[in-house]
Structure 1
C-alpha cells in the first residue's frame, strides 16, 4: 500500500507512537487524529492534522471519525497502556470492545486497511529471539491477553470481511516524552532523589528497547513494501537486534543526568506481576524487506535519557567523580 495522498485516521494519535506516526505521515497525506486524552497529550498532536477529542467506544465518535473516505486506519489507541494494570479485567474488556467496535464501523462504511500496534507481550515467556510464527502464544499479563484477543479479531475481519491488516508486535518503544516506561520512570525518580534509585525486581531483566523514530519508520516501510501475496493478515515484529538490562538503563540515565546514585532493589526476577523478564524479538521478517533500525537498544535508551534529562531544569548535577 502506497502511503501518499491518502486520508488516514490515527487512533490514539496523542500518544507516543500515534503522534509520531501522525507527524511523519502528514507530510504526504491528509491525517485525522482521534484521542480521548486519557493516555495521550494534546500538545503532542501535530498542528497540521485534524484533531478530534473523543472516545472510540462511543458510536458518536466512531461515526464522526471512521467515514467512507478514509483509506486506512492506524489503530494505536489503548484503553489502559500499563502492562501491570490495577484493573486487568476492565483493561481487557475495554481494549477488545474498542477494537471490535472499530472493525465493525470500518466494515460498515467500507474502510479496508488497518495497521494495529500490538505488543511483544502476546508471546509470554518465549525463546529468544522470538519469531512471528512462534507457538503457542501464552501471554502472562492481561495487557498481553488483550493484544492477542485484538489480533484474533483482526484476523477474523481480515479473512471474512476483506480488510487488509498489518499487526506490529512492538518491543519496548521509547521516546522523548515523560510517561510510562522505565526510562522516564528513572529520570523522574532521580529528579526527586538524586542520591538513590529504587529499581523494580533485581535489575537483571533484559529487553529490547526501540526508539520511536525507528518504530514509525519500520511501520511505514513494512506497509509500503508488503506484497499482495502476503495474504490479508500481515504480522511483523518491531525491535532491535540488541537488548539492554534494567541495571544498564539505570547507568545510562545516571550518566546523562550527571548523577552517581546508589541502587536499591525490590527483589525478584520480575519488575511486577505479569512482567516478562527477558525479551528479544526476531526482526528477520522485517529485515527481509530491507529495513534495519538506526539505533541499537542501548543507543535508543541513551538518546531518550539525554532528551528527558535536558528537559529538566530543577535537577542539581552531581559529579560522577
Structure 2
C-alpha cells in the first residue's frame, strides 16, 4: 500500500511523513513548496512538486507510484488571512480537496485521511468539545474545513470510500529542529519572535471568564498529531468494511495563554511579562478537546506535556535564530 501525502513537506506534513516512513509505510509527497521544504522529507521519499489544484500532477503521482490511499494535509491555514482573502481560501482548501477526491475516485483509491481543524466548532460554550458538539465556524478558514468534511462524507457515500477526518486543536513543538515551524502565526513562535526582538509578548484580552482571564486552549505536540495520523492510516489499511470517522486530536487538558507564557519563560529564560491588548474579534474563551473517541477508535493517546512542546519548539527556533539563546 502506498499513501499520497498532500502538503507532506510542510510543518505538520513533514512530521507525518517522517513517522509514516518510520512505521514502514510507503509514501509519496505532493507539495507546491509554497510553505513546505523538500529538506523536511526523509531520504528516498518521492516528491511531486505541484498544487492540489493541478489534476495532472495528482494523476501522475497516483499513477506512477501505485497510490492506494490519500492523506490530505495541504491547505491554507491562517485565520486572519482567510477573513481578508476568503475566495483564495475556498479555492485552495475546498476546490483543492475536490480535485484531490476526483483524482482519487478516478484511480480507484478507496482510503482518504483528511486533516481538519477544531476551527469547525467556532466558539463552543462547553467544558470539553466532543465530536458531537455543534459545528459553527466563525471564520472562512473554519468554514472551508467544515465544507471539506461534508465533501469527504459525500464522496465516501458516492464512491464507497473509507475515510477519517482528524480535527486538530492547537499545534506546537517539533520532533527535531529541522522539522520545526518556520511560521509565526501560532502562539508559541509568535512569543518567541517578540522575545528575540526584545519586545514583550502580547496577550489579546485578559478579561475572559477563565481562572486567570486569558483564553484557554488545548495545546498538542506536533509529534502527537503525527502519531494520530499513523494510527488512522493503520486503521484504514486494516479495514475490511467501510470506515467513516471524525475524531478530535487533543490532550483533553486546557492551558491558558498566561500559563503558556509562564512555561515559555521557564524554558527560554526570558521575562515573559505580557503586554495586554484588546481582545481579538471571535476568540472564544475556552476550546479544549475531549479525546475519548480517538482513544476508543484508534487506541491513541497524546504523549507529550506542554513543557516538552515548548522546549522542542525553542530548540528549533534557536537553530534558525541563534542570537535568541544568547539574549536570554
Q: Normalized against structure 2, the TM-score is what?
A: 0.86
Residues 249 and 41 (structure 1), Cα distance of their counterparts in 2 relative to 1, 3 Å cut: farther
The CA deviation string for residues 17-45 of structure 1, in whole angstroms up to 9 with x for no partner, is 21111111123132111111122233222
Is 1:10 the counterpart of 2:15? The answer is no
Residues 123 and 231 (structure 1), Cα distance of their counterparts in 2 relative to 1, 3 Å cut: farther
Q: Structure 1 CA distance, aligned partners of 2:57 and 2:69?
A: 17
Residues 48 and 273 (structure 1), Cα distance of their counterparts in 2 relative to 1, 3 Å cut: farther
Task: Indicate if the aligned counterparts of 1:35 and 1:77 stay in contact, CA closer than 8 A.
Answer: yes
Is 1:196 the counterpart of 2:200? The answer is yes
Equivalent position of 2:79 in the other structure: 83
Uncovered stretches (5+) of structure 1, i.e. residues with no partner: 1-5
Q: What's the secondary structure of 2:138's corresponding residue?
A: coil
How many residue pairs were aligned?
A: 308
Which stretch has the larger CA shift, 90-99 or 255-264?
255-264
Task: Indicate if the aligned counterparts of 1:191 and 1:315 stay in contact, CA closer than 8 A.
Answer: yes
Q: What's the secondary structure of 2:323's corresponding residue?
A: coil
Equivalent position of 1:281 in the other structure: 289
Task: Indicate if the aligned counterparts of 2:52 and 2:58 stay in contact, CA closer than 8 A.
Answer: yes
Q: Structure 1 CA distance, aligned partners of 2:168 and 2:309?
A: 14
- Among 195, 216, 241, the alignment partner of 2:226 is 216
Task: Indicate if the aligned counterparts of 1:84 and 1:274 stay in contact, CA closer than 8 A.
Answer: no
Q: Structure 2 CA distance, aligned partners of 1:302 and 1:230?
A: 42
Q: Normalized against structure 1, the TM-score is what?
A: 0.88
The CA deviation string for residues 28-86 of structure 1, in whole angstroms up to 9 with x for no partner, is 132111111122233222222001211110222122223382111110000x2202213
Task: Indicate if the aligned counterparts of 2:217 and 2:255 stay in contact, CA closer than 8 A.
Answer: yes
Deviation at 1:206, TM superposition (A): 1.0
Residues 61 and 261 (structure 1), Cα distance of their counterparts in 2 relative to 1, 3 Å cut: same
- Among 106, 109, 126, the alignment partner of 2:107 is 109
The CA deviation string for residues 80-101 of structure 1, in whole angstroms up to 9 with x for no partner, is 2202213123212321000011
Equivalent position of 1:292 in the other structure: 301
Deviation at 1:261, TM superposition (A): 4.4
Residues 266 and 122 (structure 1), Cα distance of their counterparts in 2 relative to 1, 3 Å cut: same
Is 1:38 the counterpart of 2:34? The answer is yes
Mapping 1:209-288, distance limit 5 Å: 209-225=219-235, 228=239, 231-268=242-279, 272-288=280-296
Deviation at 1:7, TM superposition (A): 1.2
Which stretch has the larger CA shift, 151-160 or 51-60?
51-60
